[in-house]
Chains A and B, each alone.
Chain A
Amino acid sequence: MKEGTLLKLLKNSDTKNEGFRLLVDLYHEKTYWMIRKMILSHDSTNDVLQETYVRIFKGIDNFKEKSKLSTWIYRIAYNESIRFLASESKIKKVELDSNDDNYSRKLYADGYFDAENLSLKFHQILSELTLRQRNVFNMKYFDELKFNEISKITGININTIKSTYYLVEKKIKKEINESAL
């Protein structure tokens, strides 16, 4: 379904519910994985996901179509995740440029984390990245978003996004090559 058609359904009060069902069908799973890579724990991800869709349902009438619908949805999901991380660490603002010291603890504490399939080395590298670096890398590499989309979602300058991604990619390649030797 084309985004324009979906928006028409969502903006009309008679078809809003039908449009919302289609929107959830289209973006629900992708949004979950995006949040999960930031939050790590399944249960917390589920809470953030539910809150994200409450905000989407409430806010869709005010969506100005300045960006793609998907970008707007991921931006809400990103903001909700950041809000959750702030409340989790009991601080008002998440420091994007610091490492998450609890990365491994959160990962292993989660009941829905399969250590058998774990690429230990990969997670170790991710845990050493700052939150900003990790988010940029995950959105580009796993979610396959474009640089300008990541910029709109995170509110970070596109050139910073590009340099961050290439820096992280280089670091990961280097560390994986070194561990393979």
Chain B
Amino acid sequence: MNPHYKKLGFKTPKNYFQKSKDQILATNINYRTGKIEYQSTFQLLIAAVFITSILYLNFSSLNTESKSFSSKSPIISSILLNEEITEEYIIDYLTDKIAENDIYIPK
């Protein structure tokens, strides 16, 4: 390099080149090696969270189905409303169910 560039008046802080060199090496060599490990750990963690959340959602929906009940059911509503179960009530309930689900019930 032509030494005349020094006459341009550009200066650098004291020990700049050594510090800058160290910074470049630290950034690229040490940090990047560590980053690869960090990324793979991070990716594993994300994968684990993803799988766990899928499993949780599946099981929770299964549980909801098994625990759910129809409050229109004559037995349930009789408990809730303290009403007697009558034949009419059951017939009404079944009629509603047929209309809702289009299920054929043999007579």
The residues of A with any CB-CB pair to B shorter than 8 Å are: 17, 20-21, 24-25, 28-30, 32-33, 36-37, 42, 46, 49-50, 53-54, 57, 112-119, 122-123, 141-144
Contacts and interface: CB of A to CB of B under 8 A. Distances in A.
Interface residues of B, number: 23
A53 B29 CA distance: 11
A44 to B, nearest CB: 13
A50 B24 contact: yes
Nearest to B22: A24
B25 A21 contact: yes
A50 B5 CA distance: 22
Contacts, number: 81
Interface string B1-32: 11011111111110011001101110111001
B5 A37 contact: yes
B60 to A, nearest CB: 44
Contacts of B10: 33, 36-37, 42, 112-114
A122 B17 contact: no
Contacts of A37: 5, 8, 10
